[in-house]
A and B are shown apart, each in its own frame.
Chain A
Amino acid sequence: MKSRIFPLIATIVVFILLYMIGWQRFPAFGTTRVVLNILTDKSFLGVAAVGMTFVILSGGIDLSVGSIIAFTSIFCALLIKDVGVHPLGAFAIALALGAAFGGAMGAIIHYLKIPPFIVTLAGMFLARGCAFLLSEASVPIEHPFYSDISGMYYVFEDKGRLTFVATLFVIVLLVGLIIAHFTRFGRNVYALGGDKNSALLLGVPIARTTIGVYMLSSVLATLAGIIYSLYTRSGYPLATVGLELDAITAVVIGGTLLTGGVGYMAGTLVGVLILGVIQTYINFDGGLNSWWTKIVIGALLFVFIALQKVLSSGRPVFKLPSLKR
């Protein structure tokens, strides 16, 4: 068996297990409502996590995600409300801005050789600060387009709702999966995360790939911000503080190695779903303090990282020593 796939299988098993536990206590887990609610509720986290998967696969990290979401929500809200731009126009401008922002971070990381942690930390403060600069308070969005979007959903027989934003998340995930596994860019990302030095010598365009990865992550964070504004019908500068950490958690629980080079996009979906299931269970219970969500996720994260360590110590994940005689 390919040991690469083992963390993914472990994740799926954990998900099924958690779901079964939930189902056994709350029969509502047997309906499509729970899963579809999770998809809707976690849609912006999920979209951001797809971008984060690319970043982590490349051996990097992106801490600016949550701030970019908040900035985008407030930026779009003001463009629509005060400037009078059509929401689609506002989205396009925001996405272009996000691409430029991510591209700039990638370029700094590559050309100035500054660790991604530092560069995206700076990006995080910058985007959050800009969000507050635009507005210190929440800005509601009232536009017919927004009402139309929230009216777009498919209702299953058992009243589960497949919303527009949930669908968007699934589409983004599928596109991300194809990019990661079936394009040269995607394979270059894996190569970069597997061994940067070798990737360079093998002719992988390091600059283009690094910049592309952070650009993609920021564009997806911007898209997540758009989804957030559609979902909440507002822009809010204090939104999604620390969401990047949830995204990293989902990616790691999904079986992607934090050291880069190994992982599956599908795992990220399962990782997001696991976070959603835990939260749903604790919400349903009512008696449990909601902080239990954090505790369970923390424990789970620890178990998964330990699992990865055990798996990776059994085989040389890192570059083999040279055979100099």
Chain B
Amino acid sequence: MTTSTQPILQTRDLSISFGSVDALVSVDFNLRAGEIHALLGENGAGKSTLIKLVTGVYAKDSGQILLDGKEINPRNPREAQLLGISPVYQEINLIPTLSVAENIYLGSQPMRFGLVNTAAMNKQAEALLNRYNIDIDVNRTLSSYSVAIQQLVAIARGVDMSAKVLILDEPTASLDRHEVETLFNVMRQLKADGVGIILITHFLDQVYEISDRITVLRNGFKVGEYNTDELPRVKLISEMLGHELTQTLGKQATSETAKPKNQEAYIRVDGLGRKGYLEPIDLTVNEGEIVGLAGLLGSGRTETALLIFGIEGHDQGTIYVDGQAVHLRSPSQAIQEGFALCPEDRKTEGIVGELTVRENVILALQAKRGWFDFIPIKRQQELADEMIEALHIATPDAEKPAGQLSGGNQQKLILARWLASEPKFLILDEPTRGIDVGAHAEIINIIKRLSNDGMSLLVISSELAEVVDYSDRVIVLRDHKKVAELKGDEVTENRIMQVIAEEPNV
């Protein structure tokens, strides 16, 4: 391998914070010319933030970005592109209403007599896409093609524009094996041409297949920079999740098993799945039990929750509640069955920022009762006050707009909303993400308390220490499949990491 050691893109002490959250703290990142550099980390580690700083979407708070040793300050994506840095984002950021060719050459159309030369543009686009073995009508609107084709078009655009640095953010998420191979070939070609490539992906196999070096971020900090062939898989995962393998933090089993438990499975999920979304999964949650769902980002944790809650439809499998098969086709049916789900992204999926704390609290309960059975204002106020006290929500009163609360308190408010609807089965997706330490501990206490009160919980979390702490059993997912179910003494961080890191098909 003749990877040059000359850095093409560097950041020094790069920092940015959003409100009180430090998204990136003093990160030094080094991309060399002619290398494929994997940028890894769990959700919220700061990967996307780093990319958005380098491409001028965000403005840094402090630090430097250097291209070819010279400091650059791109103020918008266009300036970054002109400097030779072009990103391909995970969500397809193209214009669905424009043609394929126009999407590829938007801003750099071939011109003739001062006008866009559409014929030449279409010809170029066809030739470009042929390199990826795509033979399509480039004059048709982008939205008329499949997501995989759209993703390849986005990549083709990025590759075509990238003079120096190409950034690929989860490029393979919607591609099949064959398309991935085609992409890798193009990446190798670019690498040979001296382009520096940053690859963000959650497919560790692909990291080991194609990348030369790896930088790991965690909670906004750089954890380390490694040569890919010198970093064992288990070590990589422990770096990403932030725990040393040697640290055997077993479950304090004795004190916790004292819970009185009815060992009848309250919730039984039998072969629930959907083709191309989640492999059929079996799981049970007993009354008063906490089951943890562990796995890396993209392993199918959230998908499992969405399928059970009826947000995503399933095409196979059955859910049993207390031994009775139920057919959940929508979240409102799930709510009627006594289910509740606290989503991962509270900003976009949970809190209604303009409504008051009280209104947010009663939302789910009101929905469950139907909108015509109005809850009297007095009862609403009582409920809200109860919840504010029980969950220690820091707000002067129940009439404050929820959007003005801190992240941790918003998270508690979502919990409060579902608790007000008195669910029997509660699914929590990353309940402690992005909240401060004090609130973190409180939420964990609340989770334990709920289980002691007899509620069944399914908790998704990337924080292994946390999962190990409260879970009675842990189900491990990998590549959209359940790969292990750990119970009793097996519920340790080490064991979970080992299961996650196992080579597939071995």
Contacts and interface: CB of A to CB of B under 8 A. Distances in A.
- Chains A and B are bound partners: yes
Interface of A: 2-4, 178, 181-184, 186-188, 190-191, 193-195, 197-205, 261-262, 315-325
Contact of A203 (B77, B116, B150): B77
A263 to B, nearest CB: 9
Nearest to B102: A187
Interface in B166-188: 173-174
Contacts of A2: 139-141
B143 A315 contact: yes
A209 to B, nearest CB: 11
A322 B91 contact: yes
Nearest to B299: A325
Given A182-B118, A323-B173, A201 B102 contact: no
B95 A322 contact: no
Contacts of B227: none
B339 interface: no
Interface residues of B, number: 43
Nearest to B105: A187
Nearest to A207: B76
Contacts of B252: none
Given A182-B118, A183-B115, A320-B150, A201 B96 contact: no
B109 interface: yes
A320 B153 CA distance: 14
Interface of B: 57, 76-78, 80-82, 87, 89-98, 102-103, 106-107, 109, 111, 114-116, 118, 139-141, 143-144, 147, 150, 157, 173-174, 202, 298, 300, 303, 480
Nearest to B114: A183
10 contacts: A2-B140, A186-B116, A188-B107, A194-B97, A195-B93, A198-B95, A201-B77, A203-B76, A320-B150, A323-B90
Contacts, number: 119
Given A191-B98, A315-B143, A203 B81 contact: yes
A325 B97 contact: no
Contact of B115 (A182, A193, A201): A182
Contact of A202 (B106, B114, B143, B303): B106
B147 A320 contact: yes
B174 to A, nearest CB: 5
B277 to A, nearest CB: 9
A52 to B, nearest CB: 19
A323 B96 contact: no
Q: Which 7 residue pairs across A and B have the least CB separation, nearest first? A: A322-B91, A194-B95, A203-B78, A194-B97, A261-B97, A198-B93, A182-B115
A181 B102 CA distance: 11
Given A182-B115, A323-B174, A200 B90 contact: no
Contacts of B98: 187, 190-191, 194, 261
Given A320-B150, A322-B90, A324-B90, A187 B109 contact: yes
